[in-house]
Amino acid sequence: MVFWSRRRRITSIGAVAVGAACLLSACGGGSGSDTSASSGASAPAGGTSASAIKLITPGKLTTCTNLPYEPFQFKDGAKVVGFDVDIVDLAAKKLGVTQEIVDIDFAVIKSGAAMNAGKCDVAAAGMTITDERKKNILFSDPYFDATQALLAKKGTGVKSLDDVKAKNLKLGAQASTTGLDYVKGKGLNPTEFADSPKELLGLQSGQADVIVQDLPVVLTWLKKPEIADKFELVASLDTGEQYGIGMKLGNDALAKVINEEIAKAKSDGTYEQIYVKWFGKKPGELGAS
């Protein structure tokens, strides 16, 4: 009996020691479905590690977008690049993970369904923050001040949406976008195109005489001689829009990291560098002659 009691005490002491060692070395546990993205990854100095944030794929910050939407996100060879890609990369680097991009229909993104279904951690698709979308999406702080533009065939004489109405011209817009909502709100009934390339093709093929699209996208199109030779920017529509990075409702920890990185980039000059890289002008100068 004495021997048994002594052995029991030794076993208990050993269990405590193992438990303490496990705490110090962060022994793993829990189910595989609750895995975070940075098993074994050290947190950046003074920041939040991915171990504090549940990501759908370990080691990756998965981004849903709708390609192409140049210059925000588009393919350069096999790689997806763009302004939005660089903004999300700031958060990915802070978390010590890499960004992985999923191309998906924009309607599924703007409804919040993509995040709710676990398709992605964030959505970065030149997406305007609206009260309606906030019902289903947690948005980051604004990272881009946006405006709409009208692109038309040369010689139409269009200078405004009123001109489009007065001349009874065919208007086109991208489906599921704020540009579409805006022109509808002005009493127009545009032809809807599934994405921006199809919208541009609609203009080129005569399905539309004028199209409404985000100004940076229009300016990027006009850098191509075959577009600039036949079409022109005829009006900017100051809609007061701002883009945000979308997340699943309740994902406040991830939103905190993204907001901190946006704020840091704006204060240390990184944001301006990224902006100039993709738009050729500093913030506030886009669209200026």
Strand partners, 128: 243
pLDDT of residue 286: 82
pLDDT above 90: residue 32: no
224 Cα distance to chain centroid? 25
pLDDT category, 7, cuts 50, 70, 90?
Answer: very low
Tell me the C-alpha distance between 68 and 97, whole Å. 24
For residues 210 and 226, what is the distance between their CA atoms, to the nearest angstrom?
17
Output the six-digit token pair for 212: 């409404």
Domains of the chain: 48-143+244-279 (3.40.190.10), 147-240 (3.40.190.10)
Q: How many residues does the chain have?
A: 289
Q: Give the pair of three-digit tokens for residue 191.
A: 């032809």
pLDDT at residue 50 in the model: 56
What whole-number distance in Å separates Cα of residue 98 and Cα of residue 84?
15
pLDDT on residue 34: 33
Which distant-in-sequence residues (6+ apart) come within 8 Å of 49 by Cβ? 38, 41, 42, 43, 95, 96
Position 17 pLDDT exceeds 70? no
Task: Average the pLDDT over 244-259 and give the result.
Answer: 97
Per mean pLDDT, which of 15-24, 36-45, 91-100 is the most reliable?
A: 91-100
Please tell me the distance from the alpha carbon of residue 279 to that of residue 230, in angstroms, as a whole number.
22
Residue 48 has pLDDT above 80, yes or no: no
- What is the per-residue pLDDT across 182-240, written as a single tens digit (0 to 9) for each? 999 999 999 999 999 999 999 999 999 999 999 999 999 999 999 999 999 999 998 99
227, 168 in Cβ contact below 8 A?
no
Query: 284 falls in which pLDDT band (50, 70, 90)?
Result: confident
Task: Quote the pTM value.
Answer: 0.76
Q: For residues 136-141, give the mean pLDDT.
A: 98
